[in-house]
Structures are given as C-alpha cells and as structure tokens.
Amino acid sequence: MDIDRGRFFALLNKYLHEPNGFCITYERASRPGLPACVDTEIGKELMLEKNLIDDCTLPIANYNYAAIRGRLIKRDIRVSSPTIVARAKSLGCYQPYPKRRCSTYEKNQR
C-alpha cells in the first residue's frame, strides 16, 4: 500500500474497533457550489459594472470587484472577491490588470 504511517495506523485503529463494518473508501466529498440565485445575482452585478465600463461618457475603466462584493453583502449575499473574479472570467467581464511600469529607482537598480 502506498500510504503514510499515520494513515496506516488510523485505518488499523478503525479496523480493530469495528472489523465487520470496516471498509477503505474515499470519504471526502466536494463542497457544494453556490446556489443558482446567488450566481445570477453575481452575474447581474457584473453586467451592471460592464455597462458602466462600456459607457464612454463615464471615466470608469476597470472593474471594482470589492464594490460588487459590497453591494451583494447589502443584499445578504456573502461571497468572496475571488469567487466574483472567477465568475467574471467565465462571463467575459474580466480585465487583467496592466503590468506595473518600473519606477526610475527600479530602473537604476538593474
């Protein structure tokens, strides 16, 4: 068997306590995903933000995922910012941040 020592003794202990019902199975389960209603609310907020960015009359150029998260929290929907970014990538509402330009100090250090 290709298991470490701790796992081996944990299985041995389980077998010694219950030999008839002992079974080696993978017991982990995947975490449940977001409910569909939460996913649609995230999509609505992302599309609202996309419309603001696409409007040429407004000086908004980047997505503000923290603001989206704040608006969702006001509606009692608690999700993390990385979750919002992942949904934005899947919906096509993601702009990668431009690479930071080197300052003159950093250029002189090379």
The CA distance from 44 to 72, in Å, is: 10
Which residue do the tokens 């998260």 mark?
A: 69
34 touches 79 (CB < 8 A): yes
Residue 50: count of CB within 10 angstroms of its CB: 17
What one-character DSSP code corresponds to residue 62? S
What one-character DSSP code corresponds to residue 58? S
Enumerate the domain spans of the chain. Answer: 36-91
At 59-77, the pLDDT tens digits run: 888 889 999 999 999 999 9
Residue by residue, pLDDT tens for the chain (110 residues) are 678 898 889 888 988 988 888 887 777 778 888 899 999 999 999 999 999 988 888 888 888 999 999 999 999 999 999 999 999 999 988 887 776 666 666 556 65
The CA distance from 68 to 63, in Å, is: 9
